[in-house]
């Protein structure tokens, strides 16, 4: 089992979207039994809350059920529990590196996997209002991450 933790600031927009897109993408590739996706935030501002209503709406438009989600903050034990910690932007990456150290083979930004996108980070739709942009980057990034995992693990 390969475990992936997606991390953004509040864990209600970007990281839950990536979590649910990864689950669907893994299922489409027949890898649900080999891939586990979860998400967390660096701030803890929204602990215990559901994902943002627009995140849920975008997922629904793409045929993904966003139910069963509860926001949480990154915990120290996540370093042991997950094979990859995937940050949404430089600030999240810096916060994770401050906590866990610099480990680019395990801890990196989602956009590092999709340099052709032209994005250096996943913009926060809380501020931009562009949840479709977030979805497109999550979809491309999750596909690239699954390709990476499949190549590394021989899946």
Active-site positions? 8, 14, 124
- Beta bridge partner(s), residue 38: 5
Q: Rounded to an integer, what distance in angstroms lies between the CA atom of residue 13 and that of residue 8? A: 8
155: tokens are 């899946």
Q: Are strands 35-41 and 84-87 parallel, antiparallel or unpaired?
A: unpaired
The pair of structure tokens assigned to 32 is: 């649900």
The tokens describing 43, both together, are 């701030």
């Amino acid at each position: 089992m390969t475990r992936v933790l997606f991390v953004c600031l509040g864990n209600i927009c970007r990281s839950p979207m990536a979590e649910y897109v990864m689950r669907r993408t893994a299922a489409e590739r027949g890898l649900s039994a080999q891939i586990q996706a979860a998400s967390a935030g660096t701030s803890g501002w929204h602990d215990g809350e559901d994902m943002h209503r627009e995140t849920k709406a975008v997922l629904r438009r793409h045929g993904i059920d966003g139910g069963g989600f509860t926001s949480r903050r990154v915990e120290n034990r996540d370093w042991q529990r997950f094979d990859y910690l995937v940050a949404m932007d430089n600030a999240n990456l810096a916060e994770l590196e401050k906590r866990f150290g610099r480990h680019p083979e395990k801890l990196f930004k989602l956009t590092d996997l999709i340099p052709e996108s032209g994005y250096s980070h996943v913009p926060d739709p809380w501020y931009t209002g562009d949840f479709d942009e977030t979805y497109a980057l999550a979809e491309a990034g999750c596909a690239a991450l699954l390709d990476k995992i499949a190549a590394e693990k021989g899946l």
